[in-house]
Amino acid sequence: MVKAALDPLVNKTLNIRLFHSVENVSDLRKKIMSGQLECCLVNPKLIVDPFQLVVAANKALTAKNRTTKTIFTEILFNLSVSKHITKSLQQFGITDDCRDLLVVTVGDDDSRVLSEIKGTEVELGALEEIRDLGAVKKAYKIGPEEGATSTIVDSVVSRIATKDFISH
């Protein structure tokens, strides 16, 4: 897992965990939607590096006004460069048939959320095998020229940081 410090103003920690072979995805999604479970489930295919989640979550938590209903939908929304809410949530969220997923929580203790997940936690380094760089470049509109000078993480987080006032 990764624990990341957010903006000093927020003064909260972000917890990121990666799971394999999760069996109760549909159940988890229902609980999140009903507000029983406070976390965000992210499709790891489009995540290059945990830092990408940190920047998106930090943006959600420092924002004065949110675009979406909860902090967790806001994180998903921020991950996408699209200004379209439903499209963003579909792009970065998970579907019932997903077995690999990233779990993002805010706060010191994420044991309550953890206890609900029926799957195997793995190191975040395993992202490298799951992520689809081609799909990431497409999702964030990163061309070949850009890849030559910036790392893909830098390109991705810079777009996340500016999505609300720049059309990407």
Partner 1 sequence: MEGFELFRQGAEGRIFKGVYLGKPAIAKERFVKKYRHPDLDSHLTKERIKSESRSIIRCKSAGIRTPALYLVDFNRRTIFMEYFENSIVVKDFIAQASNEVISKLALKIGAVLGKMHANSIIHGDLTTSNMLLVNKNGQKSYSNLQDLELIFIDFGLSHVESSAEDKGVDLYVLERALISTHSTASEIFDQVLEGYKLENKSGFKEVLAKFKEVQARGRKRTMVG
Instruction: Provide the binding-site residues for partner 1, judged by CB under 8 A.
Output: 4-9, 51, 54-55, 58-59, 62, 64, 141-143, 145-146, 148-150, 153-155, 157-159, 161-162, 165-166, 168
What distance lies between CA 154 and its chain's CA centroid?
Answer: 16
In the complex with partner 1, the residue whose CB is nearer, 22 or 81, is 81
Other CB atoms closer than 10 Å to residue 110's CB: what's the count? 21
Q: How far apart are CB 57 and partner 1 at their closest, in Å? A: 10
**Residue 162 host element (H or E):** helix 152-162
Q: How far apart are CB 79 and partner 1 at their closest, in Å? A: 15
How far, in Å, are 1, 9, 64, 115, 143 from residue 77 at the CA level?
Answer: 22, 21, 15, 26, 22
Give the residue among 54, 79, 61 at the shortest CA–CA distance from 9.
61
Q: How far apart are CB 51 and partner 1 at their closest, in Å? A: 7
Q: How far apart are CB 19 and partner 1 at their closest, in Å? A: 23
In the complex with partner 1, the residue whose CB is nearer, 28 or 59, is 59
